[in-house]
Amino acid sequence: MGETLLTETVSETSSDGSEAGETLLEREALHNIRELIRIDSVNTGDLRTIGDGEARAARLVQAALAEVGLESEFIESTPGRGNVVARLRGAGPDGGAPERGALVVHAHLDVVPVDGQDWRHPPFGAEIHDGLLYGRGAVDMKNFAGVLVAVARSFAREGFVPPRDLVFAFFADEEAGGVWGAKWLVEHRPDLFEGATEALSEVGGFSVPIPAAAAASERSEAPDAGAATVRHRRAYLVATAEKGVAWARVTARGRPGHGSRPTTDNPVVRIGRAVAAIGDHRFPFTRTPALETFLERFGEARGLAFPDAAADVEAELAELGFTGSLLGAGARDTASPTVLDAGSKTNVIPGVATASLDLRVLPGHEETFVDELRAVIGPDVELEVSTWIAPIASPVDAPIVSAMQQAIEADDPEGLVVPYLLPASTDNKHLSRLGIAGYGFVPLRVPDGFDVFGQFHTADEHIPVDALAFSARVTERLLRLA
Ligand SMILES: [Zn+2]
């Protein structure tokens, strides 16, 4: 196929020297990421239109691991949908069994479509311009796949035995719910994750600025305020929880009739009222453990505590720009009406009208959310919840979070790891069914104004090349410690 992760790695240097990383680990990581981006593994969500991109990417990963003697299993859940899983055995301090359960480090090999988007640089070109790598998957998430391959190869070359088993997993189909990827493997091949207690993947690990609060900078100018010197200038967000997702349908029924003779129970009017009520409703601001810890640590670092009142917290979050909007989205349940369906002819009052809802639910609200929604829409429409993927939450003070802090600090002494709640979903939800606690942490140090989350699924998806080198170094360190 002309696709190789390996032999070109050490020597390949583009004309502008952009692949000339400092170390073999960094050079290989960048090389792998570019090779993976060059494989079009777009997931349309439709088996009829998906090619074999994921399988080719998976084979590429497998070949790279095999070259350094790492055995892996290639699993095609259905033709073209490739997954690869490898286990690096760990040992305890005395050389016996590891003291901790296995850690699953995973990345998905599929990407979202690029159709209808205006790209300045080719989405599968992996071109580097002005120190930025462009391409679909540059942040979501061929970057981490490439880093994981480089780290696994580095460990294998060194003969390093980690303190716990490391399961390197590369999944298909994350972007369409993991049906042929993580979900499939959890259901059909749970043995691959045997003994695993934690998992590490997207979405988190990127740096965001910690703006010094005005009051804090005044304090630090006071003559006796030497101790108030700001120690942390950047936060690295780690997703310790994810919102759940549900789909629902609201149905209004009434007596059909002629448009010339209005009725009091016209279902179109009733569905309209229900949809408007949902649109007007704001679910309560909720301080989940992830948000609570974020407010505490981030507030401490910027030298100004967040207020107690929900409205004031939200006002302050709004001032944090993209960081605040990400945090704000994880502070409330939401219900968005997305599809309306009623009637077929202008002079006919239909007997039924429906609306579809996209629901996002916080951990801890699984039991109460539907009742609350029912109260909002009122008694004269029906509510039916179809798909339901429960939210997940992992301990915020786990040793692995301390290991992240250590791994970051070694490279960025001004970095502070801070938990947050991801308002979206990842493959960690599937792994949680096996009792595996998931964390979103793909370390990336980026300039202050760079919104990594904002790069997901957009045109001209890109990432600074030096952030990828950072990613490789910190991930390698973290997997040694974790
Ligand atoms: Zn992703």
Q: What is the pLDDT averaged over residues 429-453?
A: 96
The answer to whether residues 162 and 90 touch, using CB atoms and an 8 Å cutoff, is yes
What CATH fold (topology level) applies to the domain 24-203+426-481?
Aminopeptidase (3.40.630)
The answer to whether residues 360 and 273 touch, using CB atoms and an 8 Å cutoff, is no
How many angstroms separate the first and last alpha carbons of the chain?
36
State both tokens at 303. 């030298």
Ligand 1 geometric centre to CA of 242 (Å): 13
Ligand 1 geometric centre to CA of 437 (Å): 18
Ligand 1 geometric centre to CA of 44 (Å): 14
Ligand 1 geometric centre to CA of 343 (Å): 38
What residues have CB less than 8 Å from 293, skipping those under 6 apart?
Answer: 240, 396, 397, 418, 419
| pLDDT score at 229 | 55
Ligand 1 geometric centre to CA of 411 (Å): 25
Distance (Å, whole) CA 202 – CA 347? 51
| pLDDT score at 20 | 54
In the beta sheet, which residues pair with residue 389?
A: 245
At position 16, the amino acid (one-letter code) is D
Domain ranges of the chain: 24-203+426-481, 210-392
What CATH fold (topology level) applies to the domain 210-392?
Alpha-Beta Plaits (3.30.70)
| pLDDT score at 230 | 58
Instruction: Determine if residue 227 is left, alpha or beta; phi over 0 gives left, psi from -120 to 50 gives alpha, anything else beta.
Output: alpha
| pLDDT score at 304 | 86
| pLDDT score at 21 | 65
Q: Is the pLDDT of residue 220 over 90?
A: no
Ligand 1 geometric centre to CA of 109 (Å): 9
pTM score > 0.85 for this model? yes
| pLDDT score at 216 | 44
In three-state secondary structure terms, 323 is helix
Ligand 1 geometric centre to CA of 144 (Å): 10
| Confidence tier at 388 by pLDDT (50, 70, 90) | confident
DSSP β-ladder status, 257-258 and 382-389: unpaired
Ligand 1 geometric centre to CA of 422 (Å): 12
pLDDT digits (tens, 9 = 90+) for 81-136: 999 999 999 999 888 999 999 999 999 999 999 999 999 999 999 999 999 999 99
Query: CA triplet 141, 188, 156: central angle to 5 degrees?
Result: 50
Ligand 1 geometric centre to CA of 10 (Å): 28
Q: What is the pLDDT averaged over residues 447-460?
A: 93
State both tokens at 225. 């305020």
Q: What is the pLDDT averaged over residues 399-418?
A: 96
Q: Is the pLDDT of residue 5 over 60?
A: no
Residue matched to tokens 């590490």: 200
Q: Is the pLDDT of residue 182 over 60?
A: yes
State both tokens at 403. 């290991």
DSSP state of 211: P
The answer to whether residues 438 and 306 touch, using CB atoms and an 8 Å cutoff, is no
Ligand 1 geometric centre to CA of 176 (Å): 10
Q: Is the pLDDT of residue 10 over 80?
A: no
Ligand 1 geometric centre to CA of 203 (Å): 7
Q: Is the pLDDT of residue 60 over 60?
A: yes
The answer to whether residues 206 and 415 touch, using CB atoms and an 8 Å cutoff, is no
Ligand 1 geometric centre to CA of 34 (Å): 17
| pLDDT score at 436 | 98
Ligand 1 geometric centre to CA of 462 (Å): 14
pLDDT digits (tens, 9 = 90+) for 462-473: 999 999 999 999
Ligand 1 geometric centre to CA of 137 (Å): 8
Q: Is the peptide bond before 404 cis (omega within 30 degrees of 0)?
A: no
Ligand 1 geometric centre to CA of 31 (Å): 20
State the DSSP string of 20-48.
--SSHHHHHHHHHHHHHHTS--B--S-TT
Higher per-residue pLDDT: 291 or 9: 291
Instruction: Determine if residue 246 is left, alpha or beta; phi over 0 gives left, psi from -120 to 50 gives alpha, anything else beta.
Output: beta
Ligand 1 geometric centre to CA of 430 (Å): 14
Ligand 1 geometric centre to CA of 480 (Å): 24
Instruction: Determine if residue 204 is left, alpha or beta; phi over 0 gives left, psi from -120 to 50 gives alpha, anything else beta.
Output: left
Domains 24-203+426-481 and 210-392 share a fold: no
Ligand 1 geometric centre to CA of 447 (Å): 21
Ligand 1 geometric centre to CA of 174 (Å): 7
CB hemisphere CA count around 18 (13 angstroms): 19
Distance (Å, whole) CA 324 – CA 327? 5
